[in-house]
A and B are shown apart, each in its own frame.
Chain A
Amino acid sequence: DTGVSQDPRHKITKRGQNVTFRCDPISEHNRLYWYRQTLGQGPEFLTYFQNEAQLEKSRLLSDRFSAERPKGSFSTLEIQRTEQGDSAMYLCASSLKGTATEKLFFGSGTQLSVL
Chain B
Amino acid sequence: GENVEQHPSTLSVQEGDSAVIKCTYSDSASNYFPWYKQELGKRPQLIIDIRSNVGEKKDQRIAVTLNKTAKHFSLHITETQPEDSAVYFCAASMPDNDMRFGAGTRLTVKP
Contacts and interface: CB of A to CB of B under 8 A. Distances in A.
Interface residues of A, number: 22
Interface residues of B, number: 24
B104 A56 contact: no
Interface in B18-55: 32, 34, 36, 42-46, 49, 51
B37 to A, nearest CB: 11
Contact of B89 (A33, A42, A107): A42
Interface of B is mostly: strand
A45 B98 contact: yes
Given A102-B93, A107-B43, A42 B103 contact: yes
Interface in A58-77: none
Interface of A: 33, 35, 40-45, 48, 55-56, 91, 100-109
